[in-house]
A and B are shown apart, each in its own frame.
Chain A
Amino acid sequence: MTASPLMIEARGVQKWYPNGFHALRGVDLSVSRGEVVVIMGPSGSGKSTFIRTFNALEDFQEGTITIDGIALSNDLRNIDAIRCDTGMVFQQFNLFPHLTVLENLTLAPVAVRKRRRAEVEAQALGLLERVGIAEQAGKYPGQLSGGQQQRVAIARSLCMEPRILLFDEPTSALDPEMVGEVLEVMRALAADGMTMVVVTHEMGFAREVAHRVVLMSEGQIVEEAAPTTFFTNPQHERSRQFLAQIL
């Protein structure tokens, strides 16, 4: 693991929200290529805030974040380059409701990467096949189930051929019977060697897929360990409390 290059490197990240709330209090994290890191922690501990800094959806005041060798700064060109290379999957899917599934996938590659539409459509259909919903390509998001929508959202991120995928509680808004189909897709991505940072409370996924589990509390990382160690022998008092709550 140590030999592969770093895809994400966060050093001493501090963030205050405009209302003065200190949301991130000196967070360090490194993610290597092909690694899957799961972030857990109680509600309001800053998990979303943290992973949203990786693609500049949130800014931060102190510290540094380097994504695949590019430093996140206020230089807009850097931000656009980083956003093209990092996909993000949201809790609420955030599909574009006025576009069909296929158009959701092809919009960014055609508009941003200036690729030919026919070529992107072929790729998009392949991706929909991969996440198991090729037959829904002509429908609108509102006509799909939650699990299908989230799989479309994943395919939409993949269509930009990102090198990092960020997931912010991708299964939290789903009915229990649909969680499995989304986790299945994420498992397959991890097996293909995608670098992933996943905020989730799915223990099974963390145990089987994650290379590392990180626990956040009050804007800090309190524990960072391999999943087996984390779940069987947590070192920190906060981790034990947290695990007691979700188990």
Chain B
Amino acid sequence: MTTSSSPPLLPPRPAPPSARRSWRGALRQELFATPLDGVISVLLLAALLAAGVGFWHWAFRQAQWAVIQANTTLFAVGRYPLLQQWRLWLLVTLAGATIGASWGLLRSHPRADRSGTLWPINDLVAIAVLAFVAAWLPVALKLPVPLQLRWWAITALLLVLRGVSGQWGQLVPRRLLRFLPLLWPALYLFGMVLIAGGLGVPRVPPSEWGGLLLTLLMASFAILLSFPIGIVVALGRRSTLPLLRWSSVLYIEFIRGAPLITLLFLGQNILGYMLPGGWAPDRVWRAAWVLTFFCGAYLAEAVRAGLAAVPVGQLEAARSLGLSVPQALRHVVLPQALRIALPATVGQFISLLQDTTLLSLIGLLDLLGTARTVMANPEFLGKNAEVYLTLAVLFWCCCAALGLGSRALERRLDPSHSPT
């Protein structure tokens, strides 16, 4: 044997302590490495500081937030009848409870194969931010005391349920847990009934919905329905049946070739002519369907890109195992394609949410439409900056929530992210 003559293998040794920089050193290296870097850094810092101070001064000295404080209900739900608003409170309470329970259960049942991906610090930060916003906002908005108490109670319910289900969620049997995600569609349908009425609850016609309520309703409706449309049309575009392929292409190209606002106007007018009297949906629903089909066309392109990114070998392997085409799509191709398409899909949802502001141009009282009626009120003349800033922050929060949710989902679905 030659082993005796070859040099012995080195035993492992612990990694050296990483050269830790002091924050001073880090700062110097990041910002002032060269003279030019230094100049750029100083200029940028000065600009940021000036902008920050200017904004602070405006927001807390000059701005008069009475325009928001006096119109919170209008911004939230528009002209939804006062006597029926308990339904919306019930819905918010149920939503808070569902969020709290889902959040806690998600934490008490980490996926066995992805244990390392949770950072407890994230949860703490989220709870702290939520508690702070819920405690401060009702006061800052000068809500009447009973309403303040309601918001605090709902937040407390959310946090308590999160704590309880996080602590004892393990006790829920796995079999039952599988059905828990169904809570969400159930809540959505129930929420629709609460908002619109029916099933014994008095009707509130869509023309009386408004504000954030209308915006979220339109966006969520379009998001939920455009998703299946997008998948079907994307599959249709790749189908071997020529007629199906052509109609998919026609649909996608027609929608993508026209600006949304023209489609919205077209929808308002054409649906009235096309469908016999009384059949055409209400103005709000016409707009909702236009938004849905608009978003569906763009989603179809996102899903198509996802489908194209799945190697053909996957379909071949599935087919050679005897899976039919629908089975192969369902179990093998679509799960991978949709995961790839997820970022683009959520990007589409975010722009859809912002596109709902166009509804104000066809005369609906969504957030922007409501804001415009408020600003037209002589009592609040010239308070545009306050109103627009509030709108921007509201939209920013909704979009940030969508983005965070999608990134969490992406991590949860990524098999290569597993730490093992």
Residue of A nearest to B312 (CB): A94
Given contacts A96-B332, A157-B321, contact A112 B313 (CB under 8 A): no
Check if B316 is an interface residue, CB within 8 A of chain A.
yes
B339 touches A98 (CB 8 A): yes
A90 touching B113, Cβ below 8 Å: no
Kindly state the separation between the CA atoms of A86 and B332 in the bound complex, as whole angstroms: 19
Chain B interface size, under 10 / 10 to 19 / 20 to 34 / 35 or more? 20 to 34
The residues of A that contact B320 with a CB separation of less than 8 Å are: 55, 57, 83, 86-88
Q: List B residues at the A interface (Cβ < 8 Å).
A: 112-113, 311, 313-314, 316-324, 327, 331-332, 335-336, 339, 413, 415-416, 418, 420
The main secondary structure of chain B at its interface with chain A is helix
26 contacts between A and B (CB under 8 A): A55-B320, A83-B321, A86-B320, A87-B320, A88-B317, A90-B316, A94-B311, A95-B317, A96-B314, A96-B318, A96-B336, A97-B416, A98-B336, A98-B339, A111-B323, A111-B327, A111-B331, A112-B324, A112-B327, A113-B322, A139-B420, A140-B418, A142-B415, A143-B420, A160-B321, A160-B322
The answer to whether B317 touches A90 (Cβ under 8 A) is yes
CA distance A142 to B413 in the complex (A): 14
A98 & B313 in contact (Cβ 8 Å cutoff): no
Give which listed residue, B313, B318, B323, B416, contacts A142 with CB less than 8 A: B416
CB distance from A79 to the nearest CB of B (A): 9
The CA of A141 and the CA of B113, in the complex, are separated in Å by 13
Smallest CB gap from B418: residue in A:
A140
Cα–Cα, bound, A140→B336 (Å):
14
Tally of contact residues, A, Cβ under 8 A:
31
CA distance A157 to B323 in the complex (A): 12
Complex alpha-carbon distance, A218 and B418, angstroms? 46
Shortest beta-carbon distance from A166 to chain B in Å:
8
Cβ-defined contact, A96 with B322, below 8 A: no
Q: Which residues of A contact B113 (CB under 8 A)?
A: 100, 138, 140
* Interface members, chain A 83-142 (any B CB < 8 Å): 83-84, 86-88, 90, 92, 94-98, 100, 107-108, 111-113, 138-142
Task: Sort A-B residue pairs by CB-CB distance and give the 7 closest, nearest first.
Answer: A94-B317, A84-B322, A108-B321, A94-B313, A140-B415, A88-B320, A112-B322
Contact B322 A92 (CB under 8 A): no
What residues of A have a CB within 8 angstroms of the CB of B313 in the complex? 90, 92, 94
Residues on B with C-beta less than 8 A from A156 are: 321
Which residues in B have their C-beta under 8 angstroms from that of A57? 316, 319-320
